[in-house]
Amino acid sequence: MANFGPTLKEWRTTRRMSQMDLAFSAGVSARHLSFLETGRARPSRGMVLRLCDELSVPNAGRNHLLTAAGMAPAYASRSPDAEELKPLKEAVTWMLDNHAPYPAMALNRHWQLDAMNGPAAMMLGATGLQLGDNLIEALANNEALRRSLDNLEEVERHTLARLRTELSHFGRDAVIEKAVEGLQARVRKDADDGVLPAVIPARYRLGDQVLSFFSTIAQFGTTGDLAMSELKVELMFPADDQTRATLLALAGAA
């Protein structure tokens, strides 16, 4: 219970909401919200979840706020083999398989490779990456991957932007914060001058060719499982005709 107030205030500050704004949107008085943050009032379970809704707190953060208030968490991390997760796992597999011949992968909250389709396994396998490896760590320490990225500095800069966005969404996270700190030390601060292009690709060297991709991210909108709610499915698309033709040719030769 002692940690609920400071944790709630941290989320409110992260979302850049005043006590008055949050109280108004949640339908409570600013005085009551102040008492919740200082520990002078005890929240009900419904109040915790209502405040989480107004602050767009993700599932792990909701669990943290509930347990900080002395209540049971709302979301569980089930065994990956749990029968009730089968439809979600099948949906991920369907997305990955049907995205071929373009690369696609599934990443957990900390960017660990959970699944890949054939084209992604071919492309990342050339740098020694496999299931279970962490893409953030690889971007910093895997020299084969770093050499394969034709625009490494640009990829690092936009990875840093993605990680900062994820920190804003998920809240405090030691793993992501450490990755942000490492990337900040490598990324030039004056590199974003000018208007950004419509497509910002990552360019991979594969043999004597350069494959250029942009990505979209898909996540489950409704699931009560903690791990699945944080899973990201990254679908990579060719950013130019040469990349598209090369991938189609590779698929035809397979």
CATH of the domain at 231: 3.30.450.180
pLDDT in tens, 220-240: 878 888 889 899 999 999 999
Residue 208 included in any domain: yes
- 217 forms beta bridges with 234
CATH code of the domain in which 22 resides: 1.10.260.40
Is it the case that residue 1 has pLDDT exceeding 80?
no
% of the chain exceeding 70 in pLDDT: 94
Residue 76 included in any domain: no
Same domain, 11 and 91: no
Domain count, the chain: 2
Confidence of residue 193 (pLDDT cuts 50, 70, 90): low
Same domain, 63 and 159: no
Select the highest-mean-pLDDT range: 76-80, 189-193, 235-239, 247-251. Answer: 235-239
* Domain, as residue range, for 204: 83-253
Residue 160 included in any domain: yes
Q: What number is the average pLDDT over the span 249-254? A: 76
| First vs last C-alpha separation in the chain | 59
Length of the chain: 254
Q: What span, in angstroms and rounded, lies between the C-alpha atoms of 221 and 233?
A: 12
Residue 75 included in any domain: no
Q: What span, in angstroms and rounded, lies between the C-alpha atoms of 57 and 133?
A: 28
% of the chain exceeding 90 in pLDDT: 74
Same domain, 55 and 119: no
Q: Kindly report which listed range (12-21, 33-42, 195-204, 207-216) carries the lowest average pLDDT score.
A: 195-204
Q: Where are the beta strands (DSSP E) in the chain?
A: 104-107, 113-116, 202-206, 209-218, 232-238
Q: What is the pLDDT of residue 252?
A: 77
Tokens of 245: 């033709």
Same domain, 42 and 127: no
Burial class (CB in 10 A: 0-12, 13-18, 19+), 210: middle
- HEC string of 212-250? EEEEEEECCCCCCEHHHHHCEEEEEEECCHHHHHHHHHH
> pTM of the prediction?
0.84
Q: What is the pLDDT of residue 79?
A: 85
Report the 10 Å Cβ neighbour count for 251: 13
Same domain, 31 and 115: no
